[in-house]
Amino acid sequence: MSHTFHIPVLGLGYSVDTPLKVARYGISSVISIVDDELIERMREYHTLNSDKTFIPISKSAPDARANRIKAYLNLVHELVNQQFEQLSNQLFEPGTDITRYFELLPDSSQLKQGYELMLEYPDGERKQIFQNILRKKMTVGAIDVNIMSKVDKMNFDADGNYLGDENTDALAALRGFVNSSLHSSIILSAGMNPRLYSYLETFDEFLPDKEGNFPKRIILKVSDFRSAFIQAKFLAKKGLWVSEFRVESGLNCGGHAFATEGFLLGPILEEFKQKRAEMTAELFELYNAALNQKGINNAIVPQQRLSVQGGIGTAEENNFLMEHYRLDATGWGSPFLLVPETTNVDEQTLMQLANSSIADFYVSNASPLGILFNNFRPNSMEQLRLKRIQMNRPGSPCTKKYLVTNTEFTEQPICTASREYQNLKIKQLQSLNLPEDELRQQVDSVTEKICLCEGLCTSAYTKYEILKSKEASAVAVCPGPNLAYFNRLYTLDEMVKHIYGKLNLLEKVQRPNMFIKELELYIDYLQTDVKTHLINITDKKKKQLDKFKAQLYEGIGYYKQLFHLSATALTFNMNLLNELSNFEDKLNNLLTY
C-alpha cells in the first residue's frame, strides 16, 4: 500500500466516485453499492464525460441490479487505470500528477525516500533509470466496495412472486462486485447476514490462487473484538479468509452508529492487540481445514490487516493509534467532506458544513432502519421533513424502496420514512386515546424518519447538475461529530499533509482528544437511554444499564493507565486527565434507574 490511510464510505453519493479522484495517487477509498439507481446514473455521467458510448441497463433487464453494479465498477476500474497510466508516463517536473503522487506519500514510505534520493541525482541516464524504477514501484489505490449486510430487501416480480434468495439486494450487489474486473475488497458492515455470508462461499474469487493471493478479498467492518471473531470464524469454516478487520468507533463516526454495550474504542483496540495473533492462528486452523475439504492445500497463513476509523482528527492521534496498537492503517472519513476535489458535496451543504458548530452534529433516530444515525441539523432534508409535517403531509414518497423493513400494516415490507407508513401509524396512535403529551412524543418519533435513499444521493446529482426536474433537491448528510472542528474547505494536498503531520489544520482549534470525545458521546447515550426507560423499567433493562455503566468505568480506568504510560507519545496533559475525571464524576452522578 502506498498510503497508511483510506477514505471510507461517506453516505451513498458522497464517495460513489471518489476512486476517480484519488486512486491514481495511491489512495484507497470505498464505494457504497447499495443504490443501483445512483450507480447507473453515475455510470451514465462518467461514460458521457469520457466521450464513450453509454448503453443503459434498464431496471427490468435480467439481473439488472448485479449488472448495473458490475458495469459501473468496470467503468471506474477502466478510467482509474487510464488515469494511472497517464500519470506514470509523465515527466518528473513540478506541477505534474506524477510529482504530486510522490509528494503526497508519507515520509516513512520507502518509495517517498527513493523519490527524494532521485531528486538529488544530476540529470542524465542514471537519473532516468532511477525514475523508471520508481514508476514500476508505484501502485494504484484500492477501489473497494461496501455492502451493509442487513440491507437485504427481498425482491418480487410484477405478479408478486419471490425472485429467490440470490436476487435479494445484498446478494445481487455482491454478485455485481464479484463479476466485475476489480481486484479489490468487499467490505461487509452492519453485522452478520448468514444468507449473504453463505453466498460468498459459492464464488471461487474469494479462494486463494496457487501463490496464495486472492482475486477478491473480504474486509469486515466491526465495532468490537467478539463480533469480529464470531463473524470471521463463521467465514473461516467455509474456507473464506478475512483479509482485514476495520474497527469503527460505535458513536464517534459518520453514517449509522452501532453503539456497543459501553465498550470504548481504546479497550477494544487493546483487546485486538493482545489477542490478534491467537485469533489469527485459530482462524487459520478452521480456514485450512475447510480449504482441504475443497481440495485446496494452503500452508501459508494469509495476511490479516487491522485498521481503525471514527473520530481521528490529528496526526498525533493517527500516529499514536498506528504505533501503540500496531495497526496497518487508519480511516479518515468526515473531514474529506470538506475536500471538494474528493467528494460530492453541493455548494450549499459545503458552506453549512464549513461554518458549522458542535451543536449542529447529533445522533438521531432519523434512519428508517431503526439504527442510530449521525445527523446534521442545518441539512435541507431536515427542513423538508419539518415543512411536510406543517403541511400535514408527513413522510416521503418511497420510490427506491431499498430500506423497506416494516410489515406492521402491509403484507410486503414498507419503509418507516414513507408517507404511507407514517399516515397509517399516526392514525393508529390517534385511535389509542393516549394522553396528549405521550401522543405528541410518539408521533414525533414516527415523523423523525427521513428518506435516506434520496437524501444521500441528491448532493451528487446537484454537484454534477443531473438532478431531474421532479426530484426533490433536499440533501441529507451524515458526518461524524469530529467534522465540527474542521472549519473551512481544504485541498487534497492539505488534508493528506494534515494526516501525516506535515501541516496542522486544527492548530488554533480547541478540540477534545478522540478517546475523550467518544467517552462523552457514550455517557450522553447512556443518559438518554436512562431517561427513555425511567418510568417503565424492567429488570432486564436494569441489568443492561448496569452492565453498560460498568463497561464505561472499566474504559475510564483503562484510559487513566494509558494516559500515564503514554505521556511521551501523546501530549496527555493535566487538562486531559481532568476531562477524564470530570466525565467519571458525571457517570457517578448518573442514576441508571
Cβ density class 474-507: b for 16+ within 10 Å, e for less: bbbbbbbbbbbbbbebbebbbbbbbbbeeeebee
| pLDDT over 80 (residue 571) | no
What's the whole-number mean pLDDT along residues 291-311? Answer: 93
User: H-type helices in 408-512, by residue range?
Assistant: 419-430, 436-447, 452-463, 492-499
Q: What pLDDT digit, counting tens, does each position of 73-116 carry?
A: 999 999 999 999 999 999 999 999 999 999 999 999 999 999 99
What's the whole-number mean pLDDT along residues 453-479? Answer: 93
Grid cell for residue 331: 480511516
Q: What pLDDT digit, counting tens, does each position of 380-437 carry?
A: 999 999 999 999 999 999 888 889 989 999 988 999 999 999 999 999 999 999 999 9
Angle in degrees, 0-180, between the axes of helices 64-88 and 36-49, rounded to the nearest 10: 40
Q: Identify the pLDDT of residue 572.
A: 54
Q: Hey, what amino acid is at 284?
A: F
Query: CA-to-CA distance for 589 and 174, rounded, in angstroms?
Result: 48
Q: Identify the pLDDT of residue 33.
A: 97
Q: Hey, what amino acid is at 576?
A: L
Grid cell for residue 351: 458552506
Q: What pLDDT digit, counting tens, does each position of 145-196 carry?
A: 999 998 888 888 888 888 899 999 999 999 999 999 999 999 999 889 999 9
Q: Identify the pLDDT of residue 574.
A: 64
Place of cell 520507502: 110
Cβ density class 369-404: b for 16+ within 10 Å, e for less: bebbbbbbebbbbbebbeebbeeeebbbebebebbb
| pLDDT over 70 (residue 3) | yes
In sequence order, what are the residues at sequence separation of 6 or more whose Cβ sits closer than 8 angstroms to the Cβ of residue 515?
A: 264, 265, 266, 559
In sequence order, what are the residues at sequence separation of 6 or more whose Cβ sits closer than 8 angstroms to the Cβ of residue 232?
A: 220, 242, 245, 279, 283
Q: Identify the pLDDT of residue 573.
A: 58
- Three-class DSSP category at 206: helix
Q: Residue 589: which pLDDT band, with cuts at 50, 70 and 90?
A: confident
- The H or E element containing residue 551 is helix 539-565
| pLDDT over 60 (residue 568) | no
Asked if residues 488 and 354 have their Cβ atoms less than 8 Å apart, the reply is yes
Q: Identify the pLDDT of residue 570.
A: 53
pTM: 0.94
What's the whole-number mean pLDDT along residues 455-470? Answer: 94
Q: What is the mean pLDDT of the chain?
A: 93
Grid cell for residue 108: 516513512
Q: Identify the pLDDT of residue 537.
A: 83
What's the whole-number mean pLDDT along residues 318-331? Answer: 97
Q: Identify the pLDDT of residue 54.
A: 97
Task: Tell me which of 58 and 300 has the higher pLDDT.
Answer: 58
What's the whole-number mean pLDDT along residues 505-520? Answer: 94
Q: Residue 593: which pLDDT band, with cuts at 50, 70 and 90?
A: low
